């Protein structure tokens, strides 16, 4: 099934009300998104833990790489540029990090806190080619702003 963003945003808002711990919030968002859409085969966060370095955070799906420098992969590009990466074909993306050979497309969004500090990226990988649209980018960005823009 495909995701009803209005419903999932409401569920996430209800579940995370009053919570300000970043990892607790990431775990809840990863779980709710992952189980809401069949396109999502890996859904999770990489946290900014040092200058130019991402480390694995809460996720759903098979194991991910533990560290990704800002200089590498789609996640690194999202962190470096502070911009959403919509990748229709991962094999066409220079430097894509293949954690699962089944991944065909992905979307990665920057995650900012209330002070507009980059705290993480949200990475969603799909086994389907060209799985994500600009509408996914807009709706996911709105959820991230709602949850992390207040901590």
> Which stretches of the chain bind ligand SME, using CB under 6 A?
42, 64-65, 68, 73-75, 96-97, 99, 106, 123, 125
How buried is residue 21: exposed, middle or buried, by Cβ count under 10 Å (0-12/13-18/19+)? Answer: exposed
Closer to ligand SME by Cβ: residue 99 or 111: 99
- Report d(CA 65, CA 24) in Å as an integer: 20
Least distance to ligand SME, CB of residue 117, Å: 21
CA count, 13 A, side-chain hemisphere, 142: 10
Nearer Cβ to ligand SME (37/125):
125
Name which of 111, 84, 87 is nearest 98 in CA terms.
87
- Shortest spacing between CB 43 and ligand SME, in angstroms: 9
Q: How far is the CB of 110 from ligand SME (least distance, A)?
A: 13
By C-beta, is 16 or 132 nearer to ligand SME?
132
Q: Quote the least distance from Cβ 14 to ligand SME, whole Å.
A: 28
Return the residue nearest ligand SME (CB atom). Answer: 73
Euclidean distance between CA atoms 151 and 147, whole angstroms = 8
**Which residues are CB-neighbours of 24 under 8 A, at least 6 positions away?**
16
Of 37 and 106, CB closest to ligand SME: 106
- What whole-number distance in Å separates Cα of residue 125 and Cα of residue 127? 7
Nearer to ligand SME, 16 or 121 (CB): 121
Q: Which residue blocks in the chain are alpha helix, DSSP H?
A: 5-16, 22-34, 73-81, 134-148
Q: How far is the CB of 97 from ligand SME (least distance, A)?
A: 4
């Amino acid at each position: 099934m495909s995701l009803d963003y209005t419903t999932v945003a409401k569920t996430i808002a209800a579940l995370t009300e009053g919570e300000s711990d970043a990892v607790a919030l990431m775990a809840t968002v990863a779980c709710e998104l992952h189980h809401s859409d069949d396109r999502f085969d890996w859904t999770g966060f990489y946290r900014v833990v040092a200058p130019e370095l991402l480390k694995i955070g809460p996720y759903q799906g098979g194991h991910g790489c533990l560290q990704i420098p800002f200089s590498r992969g789609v996640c690194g590009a999202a962190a470096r540029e502070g911009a959403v990466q919509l990748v229709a074909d991962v094999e066409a993306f220079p430097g894509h990090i293949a954690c699962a050979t089944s991944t065909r497309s992905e979307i990665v969004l920057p995650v900012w806190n209330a002070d507009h500090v980059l705290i993480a990226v949200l990475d969603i990988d799909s086994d389907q080619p060209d799985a994500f649209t600009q509408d996914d980018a807009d709706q996911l960005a709105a959820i991230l702003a709602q949850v992390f823009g207040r901590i």
